[in-house]
Amino acid sequence: MNKNRFPKVSLLSVMAGLAVVACSTAPPAIQQGPDAETSFDGLNRVDNAQADEAWARPDFDISQYSKLLLVSEGFEYRQVSNRGRTTTERSRGGPYYLDERRREAFETLVGEVFREEMGQIENWEFTTEPGPDVLMVRGALLDIVTFVPDLRAMTGNTDLFITRVGEATLVLELRDSQSGTILARSIDRRAAERMGGQMMNANTVTNAAEVRRLIRFWAQRLRDGLDGFIERQQSMQGS
């Protein structure tokens, strides 16, 4: 893909595609001028963003990039002590402690879903090395909590009905892969839960299904957003 093939696409289009939360009635708009709210690293706030928070450089030009370098910044778990093993402990409610076994299972599931979705991307090449035409996408899952205790360690009444399996915050950053310059950031917190917040019986099958649904939602939004940038460029060129 020739980097001069397409006209410039503003960062506004980028953030509109990468934003990952509920619909907004007004289009995203990067704050401008001396009164613009800025982040600690010089990004401007994006109003009407389809994410809890979005920040961007207004001068970013995506047309110079044709390849993606995906970088995982890992997982960060909220520190909690309640293991929910006994009926008394569970009466306090969650969140509950996540041991290494369950953390490893969660991280494996996240990796599987993201690889499945990103493997379907159509308009970008993947690379493992920085370069002048390489856009770095960095992602991290932060403040991860679970509202399901370790089912294998429970005693007493083991029936457990919940509305949420857990919650996490996804932070996505776009950076120039060579300079490391931050171009955009979106922050979104969501729960792994049934549609409409319906109650469900906690078990390993339903828990994994809801976590997979949430991770797939995020991964699809990222994939569709990245592909959408190129499709908009092609449309602009043809108009």
* In-domain check, residue 69: yes
The residues facing 139 across adjacent strands are 72, 172
pLDDT tens for 168-186 read: 999 999 999 999 999 989 8
The reported pLDDT for the residue numbered 179 is: 96
Query: Where does the pLDDT of residue 230 fall: very low under 50, low under 70, confident under 90, or very high at 90 and above?
Result: low
C-alpha–C-alpha distance, residues 227 and 218, integer Å:
14
Structural domain including 20 reads 11-238
Residue in the block written with tokens 């569970």: 90
Q: What pLDDT score does 1 carry?
A: 37
Q: Does residue 233 lie within any of the structural domains?
A: yes
* Selected residue with higher pLDDT from 58 and 239: 58
The rounded radius of gyration (Å) of the Cα atoms in the chain is 20
The Cα-based distances of 147 to 84, 85, 203 in angstroms read 10, 13, 12
> Does 4 map to a domain?
no
Token code pair at residue 71: 């970088």
**Which of 28 and 56 is assigned the larger pLDDT?**
56
At 191 the pLDDT is 86
Residue for token digits 């043809």? Answer: 238
What's the total number of domains in the chain?
1
Question: Is 5 domain-assigned?
Answer: no
User: 225 pLDDT band (50/70/90 cuts)?
Assistant: confident
Mean pLDDT, residues 40-49 taken together: 87
pTM: 0.79
Position 229 confidence tier, pLDDT thresholds 50, 70, 90: low
Length of the chain: 239
Domain annotation covers residue 180: yes
Question: Could you count the other beta carbons within 10 Å of the beta carbon of residue 108?
Answer: 10
Note the pLDDT tens digit of each residue in 46-63: 888 777 888 888 776 677
The pLDDT of residue 175 is 94
Task: Give tens-digit pLDDT for 124-133.
Answer: 999 999 999 9
Identify whether 191 is part of a domain: yes
- What pLDDT does residue 113 have? 92
Closest residue by Cα to residue 222 from 183, 174, 181: 174
